[in-house]
Copies of this chain bind each other. A is one copy, B any other.
Amino acid sequence: MKFCDTFVLKSNELKEKKVFRDAIHDYIHVNHMIIWQLINSEQMQRLRRIRQLGGTYQVFQSAEHSRFVHSLGVYEIVRKMIETDWLKDQLSDYDKLCVMCAGLLHDIGHGPFSHSFEHIFNNDHEEMTVRMILEKSDVHRILSDMDEQLPIDVASIIAKKHKNPILIQMVSSQLDADRMDYLLRDSYMSGTTYGQFDLSRVLRTMRLYNGRIVYKKSGVQTIENYILARYHMYWQVYYHPTARSYEHLLGCIFLRVKDLYKNDYHFHTDMKYLLPFLKNEVTVDDYTCLDEAVLEYYFREFIHEEDEILSDLSYRFLNRRLLKYRELNEEDDYKQIQLIALNHGFDPRYYVFVDMQTQVPYHYYGMSGELSEIEILTKDGLCPLPEVSEIVYALIHSRKYKEDHRVFFPKEIKYEVQNI
Contact = CB atoms under 8 A, between A and B. Distances in A.
Contacts of A291: 296
B194 A198 contact: yes
Interface string A47-65: 0110000000101111111
Nearest to A27: B200
A263 interface: no
A398 B57 CA distance: 37
Contacts of A297: 293-294, 296-297
A2 interface: no
A49 B394 CA distance: 41
Interface in A293-334: 293-294, 296-297, 300, 318-321
Given A190-B23, A319-B45, A398 B402 contact: no
A300 B296 CA distance: 14
A244 B204 CA distance: 23
Contacts of A412: none
Nearest to A297: B297
A397 interface: yes
Contacts of A400: 390
Interface stretch (A4-12, A221-229, A349-357, A369-377): A221-229
A343 interface: no
A249 to B, nearest CB: 14
B64 A69 contact: yes
Given A232-B224, A300-B294, A22 B191 contact: yes
Contact of A24 (B20, B62, B85): B62
A118 interface: no
A123 interface: no
B296 A49 contact: yes
A72 to B, nearest CB: 6
B188 A23 contact: yes
Contact of A196 (B196, B236, B300, B318): B196
Most buried by B among A72, A190, A320: A320
Nearest to A402: B390
A79 to B, nearest CB: 16
Contact of A65 (B62, B200, B222, B294): B62
Interface of A: 17, 19-24, 26-28, 40-42, 45, 48-49, 57, 59-66, 68-69, 72, 85, 138, 185, 188-194, 196-198, 200, 204, 221-222, 224-225, 228, 231-232, 235-236, 270, 289, 291-294, 296-297, 300, 318-321, 390-391, 393-395, 397-402
Given A193-B198, A394-B398, A397-B399, 20 more contacts: A19-B204, A21-B61, A24-B62, A26-B200, A27-B204, A40-B321, A62-B189, A64-B64, A138-B319, A193-B196, A196-B196, A221-B232, A228-B228, A228-B391, A231-B391, A293-B297, A294-B296, A390-B402, A391-B398, A394-B394
